[in-house]
């Protein structure tokens, strides 16, 4: 049995567009989605698209163009300052340590910002007389674009295309207690050992210190230079003026964590209602035997050409021995030794493939969006994580019981075959996937509608600054209650000291009465 996806948000949006264009007022929105990663843009642009479909006028600044964009959705395409970063996935930078990854992101970000703000098209926008009611920003790299919120004096709504870094929660005063909220650059769960909590806490502190003293001063300089305004506020102050922070996360695919009202979880907002598959592909999948079919895609990161021949052989041998059909996203024309039950395709409508009722298993690199789509459709996974947050996602899949994580280095025909047979042969994996899917779907409204709601909420309430958490306005030592702890400790110490003094006086008093007699009797002896 397959979980029925909720009503298509797009159709709902269209139906409500007319009604709401009056209610929320059609707004002019500037969406700054300059992060040069296609997977990021797939997430962020889905909000811009939904807003345009509801009658708002959205200008989308990004290095991409959007095919079949709705009316009122304007592409403002800028150059990608990082050469071909747009064609390779952003996460594709190997196995860095968590701190190394954060440092890499910061340096990348500063270079990207300088490049963005030097773009002649963006320069025109900076000096234009345009007016916007709202600025949307993907807060990840390229934070200097936050200057546009100041430039147009518009409320700011930020979004993270992944679970969100700790500092993104800080923008809206959201607590991230390191005792049970793992940093998303680590692959820890929410139940950490002492050593893990130590590493988690140290990393979070280093990130905050590095941001404050290394990264933001450089970004401030880049922003002021790019906007040609030496009196601009600090980025740190603009960030803390974020009306709503949205994260592409949800407790069904992450862990329960605290969230202030301005910290909104919209995990899976990019997922669309399934469309019919291309005729020929559908016929091939429909004709799969009763054992069904397996879908294999390593996302855009691992291209077929990059796969070592020995690994390719291992996959082929394992697949050839299975009763299932296998649909493999493979970017080349031919695959030497292709078994008859394997079909290749250079590009596949992944969400629609995952919706096919004969699908039994998804072999994935464990990227966040693929993981969310697998959960949405209730499909068990075998994950072969390579880098970024993939290991975290697959650890979570294993812990939730709907998947198994396999190290790419360990892949042989035997290991892979045994793992596939284990997941295919044990109904508990698909039952867990279905259970999680039901949880993923069970929300007051679908994530894209949640994202639209909070965006319009900010517009309706002129920035909704009543959501601002007081955590943003107290000093750090007040936030950590160090003054209160100091006073309470002093009071406790004082109470103990007084009790000691009293006890001593009492004992002396006792001794003064009884002790005297003892001495006296001793003397008599
Ligand atoms: C486009 O936006 C304007 C307001 O900026 C609105 O009046 C108009 O109805 C929108 N058009 C569509 C097709 O939604
Ligand atoms: C915060 O945002 C509002 C718009 O919502 C703006 O009027 C205000 O000046 C901003 N404050 C700072 C410190 O940037």
Q: Please give the number of the atom of ligand 2 that sits closest to the Cα of 156.
A: 5
Span of 73-82, 112-121, 377-386, 496-505 with lowest mean pLDDT: 73-82
Which residue among 153, 237, 460 is best mutated to probe the pocket of ligand 2, counting the most ligand atoms within 8 A of its Cβ? 153
Domain segments of the chain: what residues?
Answer: 8-269+444-473, 279-441, 479-524
Question: Which stretch of 321-325, 351-355, 422-426, 508-512 has the lowest confidence by average pLDDT?
Answer: 508-512
Distance in angstroms (rounded) separating the CA atoms of residues 156 and 54: 19
Q: What is the pLDDT of residue 521?
A: 47
Going from the Cα of 165 to the center of ligand 2, the distance in angstroms, rounded, reads 23
3-state DSSP assignment of residue 16: helix
Half-sphere exposure of 236 (CA within 13 A, CB side): 14
Asked if the model's pLDDT at residue 523 lies above 90, the reply is no
Return the pLDDT at 86.
Answer: 41
Ligand of minimum distance to the alpha carbon of 54? 1
Question: Hey, do 8-269+444-473 and 279-441 end up sharing a CATH topology, with the first three levels equal?
Answer: yes
Which atom of ligand 1 has the smallest separation from the CA of 71? 13
Q: What is the pLDDT of residue 47?
A: 97
Return the exposure string of 107-126: e unless at least 16 CB atoms fall within 10 Å of the residue's CB, then b.
ebbbebbbbbbebeebeebb
Measured CA to CA, the distance from residue 381 to residue 368 in angstroms comes to 13
Judge whether residue 175 has pLDDT over 60: yes
CB 119 within 8 A of CB 61: no
Compute the mean pLDDT over every residue in the chain, rounded to the nearest whole number: 89
* pLDDT of residue 221 exceeding 50: yes
At 500-516, the pLDDT tens digits run 999 999 999 888 765 44
Q: Which residues line ligand 1 (CB under 6 A)?
A: 21, 26, 28, 55, 57, 71-72
Pocket of ligand 2 (CB under 6 A): 150, 153, 155, 233, 237-238, 241, 463
Where do the DSSP E strands lie in 198-330?
242-247, 263-265, 293-297, 325-329
pLDDT value of residue 157: 98
Write down the pTM of the prediction.
0.86
Percent of the chain having pLDDT more than 90?
73
Q: How far is CA 378 from CA 99, 307, 331, 425, 509, in A?
A: 34, 28, 27, 16, 77
Q: What's the pLDDT tens digit per position in 39-94?
A: 899 999 999 999 999 999 999 999 999 888 999 999 999 988 766 444 444 334 55
Q: How far is the CA of 259 from the centre of ligand 2 (A)?
A: 23
Nearest CA to ligand 1 atom 11: 55
Q: What is the pLDDT of residue 4?
A: 42
CB 210 within 8 A of CB 102: yes
Question: Residue 84 corresponds to which tokens in the numbers above?
Answer: 């071909």
- For 279-441, the fitting CATH number among 3.40.50.620, 3.40.50.2000, 3.40.50.300, 3.40.50.2300 is 3.40.50.2000
For residues 233-241, average pLDDT = 97
Confidence (pLDDT) at 22: 45
Q: Which CATH architecture has domain 8-269+444-473?
A: 3-Layer(aba) Sandwich (3.40)
Mean pLDDT of 400-404: 95
C-alpha of residue 509 to centroid of ligand 2, in Å: 68
């Amino acid at each position: 049995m397959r979980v029925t996806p909720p009503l298509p948000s797009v159709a709902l949006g269209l139906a409500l567009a007319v009604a709401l264009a009056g209610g929320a007022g059609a707004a002019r929105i500037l969406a700054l989605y300059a992060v040069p990663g296609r997977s990021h843009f797939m997430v962020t642009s889905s909000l811009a698209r939904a807003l345009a479909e509801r009658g708002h006028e959205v200008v989308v600044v990004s290095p991409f163009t959007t095919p079949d964009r709705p009316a009122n959705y304007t592409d403002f395409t800028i150059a990608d300052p990082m050469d071909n970063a747009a064609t390779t996935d952003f996460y594709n930078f190997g196995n860095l340590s968590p701190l190394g990854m954060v440092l890499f992101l910061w340096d990348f970000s500063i270079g990207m910002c300088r490049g963005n703000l030097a773009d002649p098209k963006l320069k025109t926008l900076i000096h234009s007389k345009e007016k916007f009611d709202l600025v949307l920003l993907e807060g990840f790299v390229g934070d200097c674009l936050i200057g546009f919120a100041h430039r147009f004096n518009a409320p700011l709504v930020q979004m993270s295309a992944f679970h969100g870094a700790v500092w993104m929660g800080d923008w809206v005063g959201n607590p991230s207690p390191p005792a049970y909220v793992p940093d998303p650059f680590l692959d820890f769960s929410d139940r950490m050992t002492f050593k893990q909590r130590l590493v988690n806490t140290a990393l979070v502190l280093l990130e905050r210190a590095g941001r404050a003293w290394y990264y933001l001063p450089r970004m401030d300089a880049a922003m002021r230079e790019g906007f040609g305004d030496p009196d601009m506020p600090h980025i740190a102050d603009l960030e803390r003026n974020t009306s709503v922070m949205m994260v592409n996360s949800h407790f069904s695919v992450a862990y329960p964590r605290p969230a202030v009202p301005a910290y909104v979880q919209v995990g899976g907002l990019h997922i669309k209602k399934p469309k019919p598959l291309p005729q020929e592909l559908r016929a091939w999948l429909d004709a799969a035997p009763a054992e069904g079919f397996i879908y294999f895609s390593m996302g855009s990161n691992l291209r077929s050409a990059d796969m070592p021949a020995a690994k390719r052989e291992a996959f082929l041998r394992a697949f050839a021995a299975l009763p299932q059909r296998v649909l493999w996203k493979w970017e080349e024309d031919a695959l030497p030794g292709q078994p008859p039950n394997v079909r290749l395709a250079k590009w596949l409508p992944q969400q629609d493939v995952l919706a096919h009722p004969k699908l039994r298993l998804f072999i994935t690199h464990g990227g966040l969006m693929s993981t969310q789509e697998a959960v949405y459709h209730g499909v068990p996974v075998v994950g072969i994580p390579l880098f970024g947050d993939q290991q975290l996602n697959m650890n979570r899949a294993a812990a939730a019981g709907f998947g198994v994580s396999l190290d790419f280095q360990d892949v042989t025909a035997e290991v892979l075959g045994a793992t596939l047979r284990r997941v295919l042969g044990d109904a508990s994996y698909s039952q867990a996937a279905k259970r999680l899917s039901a949880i993923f779907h069970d929300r007051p409204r679908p994530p894209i509608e949640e994202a639209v709601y909070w965006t319009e909420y900010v517009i309706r309430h002129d920035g909704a600054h009543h959501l601002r958490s007081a955590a943003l306005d107290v000093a750090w030592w007040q936030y950590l209650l160090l003054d209160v702890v100091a006073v309470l400790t002093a009071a406790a110490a004082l109470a103990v000291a007084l009790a000691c003094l009293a006890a001593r006086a009492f004992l002396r008093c006792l001794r003064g009465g009884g002790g005297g007699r003892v001495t006296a009797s001793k003397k008599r002896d």
